[in-house]
Structure 1
Amino acid sequence: MSMRMALPLLLVAAGATIVAAQADADEIRVAVASNFAETMSEISGRFEAATGHKVTLISGSTGKHYAQISNGAPFDVFFAADARRPELLERAGLAEPASRFTYAVGKLVLWSPHADYVDAKAKVLERGDFRHLAIANPKLAPYGRAAQEVLRARGLWRALNSRIVRGENVGQAFQFVRSGNAELGFVAYSQLKRPDQAFQGSMWEVPQILYTPIEQQAVSLKSSNVARAFMSFVRSDEALVIIRDYGYSTP
């Protein structure tokens, strides 16, 4: 075969390879708890680079995502901030059988952006020398429910109720504190522990005995090769290192 004939054939073959690769690429819609959004952004970026698939992240409160999924929202996988909602979806037949797993265990902290504001035993809560305390909505967000448990354990839930500002999710609670609308708040440790940023402010790492463990589970909502590949990637050593770097424990 002459070079004149071979070149067009090579170009056609190359073009076919590109088209095939594009055809193999697909999109996955991921509903993710707000506390895990930044961690998931890094994980999904690695997945996109490795596979060519596109990952669209929709972050929000676990309770709101659960309601949306129950009403037919077109998500492919769900990364909750608790174990209860994924289990309920599984029981209702809205999740792929045997796809549910624990991907992280969250940690609750009391945080203020001001140095020395939150002491080692969080006595600032008893002193009450603040106007507003931010938490996530206990009815929607597992981190909010954990914060409520802590305040009740210390006998402060009723006493501080009028000063509590509730975010729809722990991301909003974090923003309330960071913006100065609340002097302190119960947030996720992962929101403060960044691999590339130094910690600022003061915090109290809440003893685990004071709240129900925040076991965060994921579940597949649709049967697809891309969803299975993504869930497998999240459980890979590469992803687990990222998850731990952001302050979570892993199973």
Structure 2
Amino acid sequence: MLQINQLVSGYNKIPVLNLAEMFVGAKSFTGVLGRNGMGKTTLLRAIMGELPAWQGQISLNGIDISRYQAYQRASAGIGYVPQGRQIFPLLTVEENLRMGCVKHFSRSQPIIEHMLEIFPRLKRLLAQPGGALSGGEQQLLALARCLCGEPQLVLLDEPTEGIQPNICEEIIETLQKLRHEMDISIILVEQDIEFLYSLADRIHVIEKGQITQVIDPLTTSSAAIAEQYLGFHA
């Protein structure tokens, strides 16, 4: 689905990302792991088009989207749930979801009803302002809002940050359910190694803006990976 070749990107003419290649298959869950400052968020922002590709190529379903603006990539089928969620705090939960349906406005009601089936916790919160929700509820709302756009590829940046454990379990269950119910792929940036191991088909380790290793969670222990690449015991 997604192919990246020789991608260079960064901030204010300072290169942060220098990625030789990366592939994401259809209906796959791809993890990205690394310490802070290694380029994980930069990678997602470059894929989404929030940062320019100074060099290299990003292809989605065989189409070169390297010069697409962010809104064009969203129309092409990429959804993004950034770190910190970035919901609309003054809009209600329902209004946030309707904002996610802007590409499919005529079908917004059935899409929202489907999202509420997937995220039942949001049903009782529809009239609440987004800013009044807990951090975990905001994360569920951000994910549901993204899915309202019916993306093929979802970029998730640190979804467990500041989230209580029961909501983390709910996110895992929801994403596993989506794997079977919706035709989507996910790139998941996360430092919670057990969360990654619960979902990812493979995990890319990023160091200083480069993919240095691709890990198969079925053959490598999470404890060894956490100690080697995050500097702590899982």
Fold match by TM threshold 0.5: no
Q: TM-score, normalised by structure 2?
A: 0.29
Q: TM-score, normalised on structure 1?
A: 0.28
